[in-house]
Amino acid sequence: MKIPDIRYREINLNGSSYERALLKRLRYTSLAKLIAWMAMGRRTEAIFILGSEIIQPRGLLGQAKDAIDSSVRELKQILEILAEAENHPVLFHCTSGKDRTGLVAFMLLLILDIPLDAISADYQASESELLTEKETRIQELRVMGLSADFADCSPNWVVDVHKHIIETYGSVPGYLDCIGFDESLRSKMKSNLLKNMTAKP
């Protein structure tokens, strides 16, 4: 159900580019099984193969790294929406509200030059807000071949994802340039999102 008079943009950060990156990591025998399950309409069994053999061993950090490295088109689209004042206010979300949503919020706050410790505290605050649905989420994760820790917010997640960006792309601006979200777009985002914070009390 969609609320009238609200503009929706449906962008899946774990879309086709992300899926292809994961499929490339599968052994040929597992890939054949996955394709067979999908052909039979058994999507749950196919997802379990991908979850248990690829996503689970790589953990939450690996999941974020894969999205950063492969979901560049989707991430750029999201950041472009957030940069435009005419789109504000903006609500962005995913299933749990901490992984894909957390990655977008992480990149947004990095662009705004928010300190890493503040970003980390913001990310970890999500865990207590998700407690009421944690058990249900854990059951869903197990069906996908994932362990209960995928329902948590790792205290090292922000620092480790930032480290991956620095080691792989040289800097946060270097990564953003790589995906096409250049300095002019970053300046626009800062101007539009920080203008109300510069007013005197």
Q: What is the pLDDT of residue 195?
A: 78
Non-local (6+) Cβ contacts of 60 within 8 A are: 99, 149, 150, 152, 154, 157
pLDDT at 97: 81
pLDDT for 197 equals 62
> How do residues 123-171 score in pLDDT, each as one tens digit?
999 988 888 889 999 999 999 999 999 999 999 999 999 999 999 999 9
Which residues make Cβ contacts (< 8 Å) with residue 21, sequence separation at least 6? 66, 69, 70
pLDDT value at residue 129: 85
For residue 185, is pLDDT > 80? yes
84-88, long-range: CB < 8 A, 24+ apart: 84/188, 84/192, 85/192, 87/7, 88/192
How does pLDDT run across 113-135, given as a tens digit for each residue? Answer: 999 999 999 999 998 888 888 99
Tell me, letter by letter, the H, E, C secondary structure of the chain.
CCCCCCCCCCCCCCCHHHHHHHHCCCCHHHHHHHHHHHHCCCHHHHHHHHHHHHHHHHHHHHHHHHHHHHCHHHHHHHHHHHHCHHHCCCCCCCCCCCCHHHHHHHHHHHHCCCCHHHHHHHHHHHHHHCHHHHHHHHHHHHHCCCCHHHHCCCCCHHHHHHHHHHHHHCCHHHHHHHHCCCHHHHHHHHHHHHHHHCCCC
Both tokens assigned to 62: 């690996």
Instruction: Flag whether pLDDT at 201 surpasses 80.
Output: no
Query: How many CB atoms are closer than 10 A to CB 58?
Result: 14
Closest CA to 80 of 190, 3, 181, 11: 181
Reported as a single tens digit per residue, the pLDDT across 81-109 is: 999 999 989 999 888 888 999 999 999 99
∠ CA 138-94-166, nearest 5°, is 95
Task: Give the pLDDT confidence of 19-47 residue by residue, as tens digits.
Answer: 999 999 999 999 999 999 999 999 999 99
Quote the mean pLDDT of the chain.
93
